[in-house]
Amino acid sequence: MPVACSDAGPADGAPAEVLEGDVAEAALELALPFDIDPRKSLIVTETDVVSAFTLEDVLQQLIDQAGASVTATPLTVFRQLMNNQRPGASDPNNIGPNCDDEPPNAGDLEPVDDPPPGLPPFPPEEKNQTGSINDWPIFCPRTADDIDSDPFADPESDSAYMATTLANRFDLAPPDGAHCGEYRVVFAKRSGITNGLNRNFIIFEARLPNPNPSQGRLGCQAVVDFWLNQSDPAKSPATRAAELHDFYFDGLSGFEPVIHIDHYGPEGGQIRTNEFVRPNGLPLTSWSLRQFEIAHAGPTGGWLLIAPSFVTDNPAGKLFTNASGDPRVTGFQGTFFPSVVERLAATDDINRFAYGAAVPSEYEAGESLMIPLHNNYLNKLTTAPTAFRNGIQAELTAMGSSLTPEQLVGRAQSLACAGCHEPVNVDNEFFKTKLDENGQPVPDFDDPESPLDVGLPSNPLRTLGFTHTSEQTEAVDETTTRQRFRISKMLTDVFLPFRQQVMEDFLLNHPILGFEKPGVWTSTQAQLSVHTGRVVEGISSLEVLTPGSFHAVVSPNFSTAGLTIGNKITVDLFVSPAQPNPSWVGNVEVLISIPSAGINNQWAGNVPLTPITRGSFQRIQFASLATATKNALSATPRPTDVKLQFNFNVTSDSGPYYLDNVRFEN
């Protein structure tokens, strides 16, 4: 009987103990020239660095790229952007789209109640959504003095904008390296320094093309190296400011500049606003986040327009309701959302929450509202046993997930602009509650967690209050008087550590053995794809669907150069909890080939799958390699024709299984 069709005893291989963290960390420190400083290589807010960036320079660069015949100025482009917030009837300038160019559908409107007695009633434009984007309602107008202001006349005035943040989002680069991630600049209105009722942020979120997409993410190596080198302790703030300015405005060798008219939509990238703007401290019913794209006619076309767009990954709130007769609701609840339940539920890392597929454009809202409840998905989801709710539960049950429909929808809410910037519960509460001395529930301002339950051991941390970056500053450290703009605890404690790990894994780990590049591992029996939810290291693992009983999963040839070579092949393996035959799952074996050393399909161990803990990654170690095989792997020069083959002998349709982080360990 072939080895692949036989079970084996525990001596052949078994789940292994995890490496001590300090050993792994020590190896990492030896591999990098210096530690990655998250406040230099991932997010930059030091005032003496970001001050090298001005909104006027960014807009001028976009104008210059649109062609010499453009007569626009930074001021006219700024006013055109803000003019998107004005209704056509009150627009004397006619310089671009207005917020009521398309009226809303009456069935989509959600009027806002007046404030409690004693406060002035809201004006009509703050009670009803009178415009629409992408056939979904928006508030119109957004009354603000920005529409007619000149933010460039006095850089110290309340109307001026200041750069507060540069963000490295290489973590957004997809596994196939179609692009190199996003690189962002945040500008904040200076009025927000002293007036919490007059705040506005303009965020330029450029998607940087990969000049060599055939290389996958390796085509982005120079970009990652650039950001790594920002952590060089020998570099002064002035040097870093100059290098960052060049990266954004001129680009690295072989790369386009970050700030480029083609990097802000429609092929990727966007401009977003985070708005709480109302003159004279008047009441405001909504905190709105909106998205824009740059339209132009090419380098000789002579025109440039910043046009409103739907907000990506922000389904409209109505789609989670019981609204009948709306084909968008029917399609969303019956087809799209059930198809993404598995991906939303697949991870216990909030950084990896994702739909796994682009949200169809017809479902994307025209704005994302943190106030009022328009985009609070949990508030829209009924507790009644509807077909939508039952369908979510059926998908969760089929994959063996313990999440509830509310927790799953909470994850979708956390992906929306509003849900990320201010995670709230079904009642739009910003804080968890505690009991006061009278036994009554009151907000717990000291609890760092939000009340949004997404099915993790702890809830998401609170933000800075609708933002993750701030107009307020703090000392860079205790040894200097230098200042930097504040960032949220969610950034420092959750988002930045993840982004740092993605960067380190890219710099240090093997793209083939880490399953970081789609399509390089092959199988004639199994269905293979990379998965970005269930992951141990890097940004993806290999998903293995097993329609039959035997499946060979084969690597391409790879080199062991730079790899630590031990005497056992080790891999992190995820066995799905929902098994058609729980009493016998099967086994997996590994074969190794090094033709240059005369080694071909040499058996290297077998591990039974039935005793392995299901529903999480387990470290699996196979039998010891033959001495000659280990010597061949570490020979000088290192071999370049190594190939691994994992054979799954399992119950049909017992997957998916996930493989990640193959290595050679003792």
- On the question of pLDDT at 566 being above 50, the answer is yes
pLDDT digits (tens, 9 = 90+) for 607-660: 999 999 999 999 999 999 999 999 999 999 999 999 999 999 999 999 899 999
- On the question of pLDDT at 11 being above 90, the answer is no
290 lies in some domain: yes
pLDDT digits (tens, 9 = 90+) for 162-200: 999 999 999 999 999 999 999 999 999 999 999 887 889
116 lies in some domain: no
pLDDT digits (tens, 9 = 90+) for 12-41: 444 444 333 333 333 333 479 999 999 999
536-559 average pLDDT score: 97
Same domain, 503 and 543: no
In whole numbers, what is the pLDDT of the chain averaged over residues?
A: 89
Which one is predicted more confidently, 537 or 417?
A: 537
Residue 461 carries which DSSP code? B
- On the question of pLDDT at 567 being above 90, the answer is yes
Same domain, 82 and 193: yes
| Nearest alpha-carbon partner for 150 in 74, 72, 61 | 74
Q: Give the model's confidence band at 95: pLDDT under 50 very low, under 70 low, under 90 confident, else very high.
A: confident
Same domain, 12 and 66: no
113 lies in some domain: no
487-500 average pLDDT score: 95
Residue 325: what pLDDT? 85
**Residue 35: count of CB within 10 angstroms of its CB:** 13
Residue 143: what pLDDT? 60
List 622's β-bridge partners, or say none. 13
Same domain, 364 and 245: no
pLDDT digits (tens, 9 = 90+) for 385-443: 999 999 999 999 999 999 999 999 999 999 998 888 778 878 777 778 788 888 887 77
- On the question of pLDDT at 8 being above 60, the answer is no
525 lies in some domain: yes
Q: Give the model's confidence band at 300: pLDDT under 50 very low, under 70 low, under 90 confident, else very high.
A: low
Instruction: Give the Å distances, CA to CA, from 135 to 101, 140, 309, 358, 375.
Output: 11, 14, 11, 18, 15
54-78 average pLDDT score: 90
Peptide bond into 423 cis (omega under 30): no
- Strand, coil or helix: 21: helix
Residue 442: what pLDDT? 79
Q: Is the pTM of this model over 0.85?
A: yes
Q: Identify the CATH number of the domain in which residue 14 sits.
A: 2.60.120.430
Instruction: Give the Å distances, CA to CA, from 588 to 162, 400, 568, 608.
Output: 57, 22, 15, 7
Same domain, 603 and 526: yes
**Residue 640: count of CB within 10 angstroms of its CB:** 12
Same domain, 250 and 171: yes
Which of 103-112, 370-379, 501-510: highest mean pLDDT?
501-510
Same domain, 15 and 77: no
- On the question of pLDDT at 450 being above 70, the answer is yes
Peptide bond into 460 cis (omega under 30): no
Which of 29-38, 276-285, 347-356: highest mean pLDDT?
347-356
CB burial of residue 439 (10 Å; 0-12, 13-18, 19+): exposed
111 lies in some domain: no
Same domain, 501 and 456: no
For residue 662 the two structure tokens come to 């193959």
Same domain, 205 and 299: yes
For residue 92 the two structure tokens come to 């004397």
Query: How many domains does the chain fold into?
Result: 3
484 lies in some domain: no
- Strand, coil or helix: 63: helix
Q: Give the model's confidence band at 280: pLDDT under 50 very low, under 70 low, under 90 confident, else very high.
A: low
Instruction: Give the Å distances, CA to CA, from 574 to 19, 50, 159, 225, 264.
Output: 18, 43, 54, 32, 38
Task: List the domain range (segments joined by +) for residue 620.
Answer: 3-31+511-665
Same domain, 333 and 208: no
Same domain, 576 and 537: yes
Same domain, 498 and 580: no
Residue 58 carries which DSSP code? H
340 lies in some domain: yes
Residues of the chain above pLDDT 70, percent: 90
pLDDT digits (tens, 9 = 90+) for 114-151: 666 766 677 666 677 889 999 999 988 776 567 788 99
114 lies in some domain: no
